């Protein structure tokens, strides 16, 4: 499709935004709150029990108006419509971007090449549900007649991070009679440790690879196959393996019955795929009804993105604030701080979502970008992070925008734990914004010798997502979709393709060549740079191979 190509630095509102940033420079958050008693109300939005407070950003209501104007000038509304219409907004691969269809309700229509892909999605969801019912009820038996009690997901990237993150996050809803493990690293210790205490007779492997040729995944899958065959024999494979793939030939060659292959489509990007058949392990853990609830959360945000005015559109505002911090305030990182223990893998999940989507150096038309793109995402759950890296966020020389995520209700209401947890989250955001000066310290009786060391300068920007209720499947789907569309919004303003990932290809190609050379029984002809050649020879020597 032909997409309107815009340059961020040539948008009519961009100059006004730069002037706004210059005007705000030197103004403190304390002074902004003192000057505007309604700031918290003006700079927050609500949607579906989610309250997004961005009033502690180093921005003003005028900033937000200018950012929205920029988004309109960049064509955000047209790009949203194009995405929902199934147009090929993944320009470099000439593909539609339709993770939206994965969570569309039955009966909806999203037409691609004359086919309603929503019908296809629900056919696969139905097959997934039937399969997971058999696993969870014990109807599906292993080769020796025992029910499956252990499910091991083998994948990498989007075929691993999403399912692992969601299964851990929703552990409260999972079948506690079963174990769920995730293997992704080609380091052999990953497979060995994850299967150490498992009984092959009760273990099912879900191999997740769209192409069924991904080196790391197929290496681990081959080791899993050997593990099962050594214990149970060659005929056991079809009882202990299923596949999520589009490569029926490769799946059958592996020994998996293609009746037990769950497909998906080229318009599903890996980092947007946890709500497709890639999430089969999630469904095994939480059941088809809870999986449907998670999809409903995704879909609610999709409809919000499509219908809400930009001024009230939560994921769009999240993306615009990301652009403000990255490009106007020149802040290169973002700390993701969920105050939910079960969301331990959420920062890593968002790392891939943001940095694989928007870590690009060329625009849609192939021109070099003239501005910074993806921020570095990192983080840990609170309160653990408070006793680790928060010191740097409060007093370090680098300003780090932070994003706090908390739920009003706990999963486990133990004593006053949740009140203390939330008090910490609110307090950290307050401390980052307003700091602590020398006068306050002296009034509190701090020794003069400690004053300078204890000062916190404040003006460290943060947002807070405060969510009604507790972490449920629907809430998780909502949260993930908000961040998906945030990344999309940023990409539109930066003028890049947020849906390809060519940067991961080169390393894979070189690794394939080097793997052959490292394992060659004869002395290989190494024609890399001198450093790579030296490292390869040193490794081969350690393995007693000719160098």
Q: Which positions are annotated as active-site residues? A: 356, 387, 508
Helix (H) or strand (E) holding 47: strand 44-47
Kindly state the greatest CA–CA separation across the chain.
77
**Under 8 Å CB-to-CB from 143, ≥6 apart: which residues?**
201, 232, 233, 235, 236, 239, 240
Q: Do 506 and 481 touch, CB atoms closer than 8 A?
A: no
The token pair at 355 is 């940095």
Where on the phi/psi map is residue 255: left (φ > 0), alpha (ψ -120 to 50), or beta?
A: left
What are the Cα distances from residue 297, in Å, to 11, 121, 143, 469? 34, 17, 38, 14
DSSP class of residue 307 equals: H
Q: Do 521 and 224 touch, CB atoms closer than 8 A?
A: no
DSSP class of residue 155 equals: -
Q: Compute the distance between CA of residue 501 and CA of residue 92 in angstroms, rounded to an integer.
A: 10
Q: For residue 383, say if its preceding peptide bond is cis, omega within 30 degrees of 0.
A: yes
| DSSP, residue by residue, 393-425 | HHHSSS---EEEEEESS-SS--TTHHHHHHHHH
Q: What is the sign of the dihedral through the CA atoms of 384, 389, 395 and 400?
A: negative
Q: Compute the distance between CA of residue 518 and CA of residue 292 in angstroms, rounded to an integer.
A: 46
**Under 8 Å CB-to-CB from 119, ≥6 apart: which residues?**
none
Q: Do 297 and 475 touch, CB atoms closer than 8 A?
A: yes
Q: Compute the distance between CA of residue 21 and CA of residue 38 in angstroms, rounded to an integer.
A: 21
The torsion of the CA quartet 26, 30, 36, 39, rounded to 10 degrees, works out to 100
Task: Return the beta strands (E) in 290-437 as ranges.
Answer: 333-338, 376-378, 402-407
Q: What is the sign of the dihedral through the CA atoms of 118, 120, 124 and 130?
A: positive
Phi/psi of residue 436, each to 5°?
-155, 125
Beta pairing partners, 116: 111
Q: Do 462 and 433 touch, CB atoms closer than 8 A?
A: yes
Q: Residue 228 in 3-state DSSP?
A: helix
Q: Compute the distance between CA of residue 120 and CA of residue 124 in angstroms, rounded to an integer.
A: 6
Beta pairing partners, 176: none
């Amino acid at each position: 499709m032909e997409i309107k190509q815009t340059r961020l630095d040539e948008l009519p509102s961009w100059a006004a935004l730069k002037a706004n940033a210059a005007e705000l420079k030197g103004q403190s958050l304390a002074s902004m709150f003192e000057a505007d008693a309604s700031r918290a109300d003006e700079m927050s939005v609500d949607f579906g029990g989610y309250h997004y407070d961005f009033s502690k950003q180093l921005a003003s209501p005028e900033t937000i108006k200018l950012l929205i104007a920029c988004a309109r000038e960049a064509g955000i509304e047209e790009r949203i419509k194009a995405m929902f219409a199934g147009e090929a907004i993944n320009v470099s691969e000439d593909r539609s971007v339709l993770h939206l269809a994965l969570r569309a309700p039955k009966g909806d229509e999203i037409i691609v090449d004359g086919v309603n892909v929503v019908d296809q999605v629900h056919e696969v969801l139905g097959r997934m549900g039937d399969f997971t019912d058999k696993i969870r009820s014990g109807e599906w038996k292993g080769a020796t007649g025992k029910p499956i009690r252990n499910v091991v997901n083998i994948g990498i990237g989007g075929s691993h991070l999403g399912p692992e993150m969601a299964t851990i996050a929703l552990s409260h809803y999972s079948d506690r009679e079963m174990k769920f493990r995730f293997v992704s690293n080609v380091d052999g210790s990953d497979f060995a440790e994850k299967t150490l205490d498992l009984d092959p007779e009760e273990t099912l492997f879900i191999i997740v690879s769209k192409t069924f040729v991904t080196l790391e995944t197929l290496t681990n899958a081959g080791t899993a196959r050997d593990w099962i065959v050594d214990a149970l024999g060659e005929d056991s494979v079809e009882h202990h393996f299923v596949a999520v793939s589009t490569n029926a030939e490769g799946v059958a060659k592996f020994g998996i019955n293609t009746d037990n292959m769950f497909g998906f489509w080229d318009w599903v990007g890996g980092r947007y795929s946890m709500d497709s058949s890639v999430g089969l392990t999630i469904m095994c853990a939480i059941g088809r009804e809870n999986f449907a609830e998670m999809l409903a959360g995704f879909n609610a945000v999709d409809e919000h993105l499509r219908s809400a005015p930009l001024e009230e559109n939560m994921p769009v505002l999240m993306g615009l604030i990301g652009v403000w911090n990255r490009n106007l305030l020149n802040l290169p990182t973002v700390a993701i701080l969920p105050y939910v223990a079960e969301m331990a893998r959420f920062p890593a999940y968002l790392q891939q979502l943001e940095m694989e989507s928007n870590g690009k150096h060329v625009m849609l038309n192939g021109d070099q970008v003239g501005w910074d793109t993806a921020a570095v995402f990192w983080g840990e759950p609170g309160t653990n992070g408070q006793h680790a890296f928060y010191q740097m966020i409060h007093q370090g020389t680098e300003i780090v925008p932070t994003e706090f995520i908390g739920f009003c209700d706990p999963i486990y209401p133990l004593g006053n734990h949740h009140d203390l947890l939330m008090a910490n989250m609110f307090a950290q955001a307050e401390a980052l914004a307003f700091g602590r000066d020398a006068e306050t310290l002296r009034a509190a009786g701090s020794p003069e010798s400690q004053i300078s060391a204890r000062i916190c300068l404040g003006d460290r920007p943060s947002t807070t997502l405060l969510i009604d209720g507790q972490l449920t499947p629907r809430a998780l789907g909502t949260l993930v979709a908000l961040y998906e569309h945030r990344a999309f919004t940023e990409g539109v303003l930066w003028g890049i393709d947020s849906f390809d990932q060519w940067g991961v290809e080169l390393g894979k190609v070189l690794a394939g060549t080097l793997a052959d050379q490292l394992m060659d029984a004869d002395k290989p002809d190494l024609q890399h740079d001198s450093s790579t050649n030296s490292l390869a020879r040193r490794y081969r020597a350690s393995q007693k191979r000719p160098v």
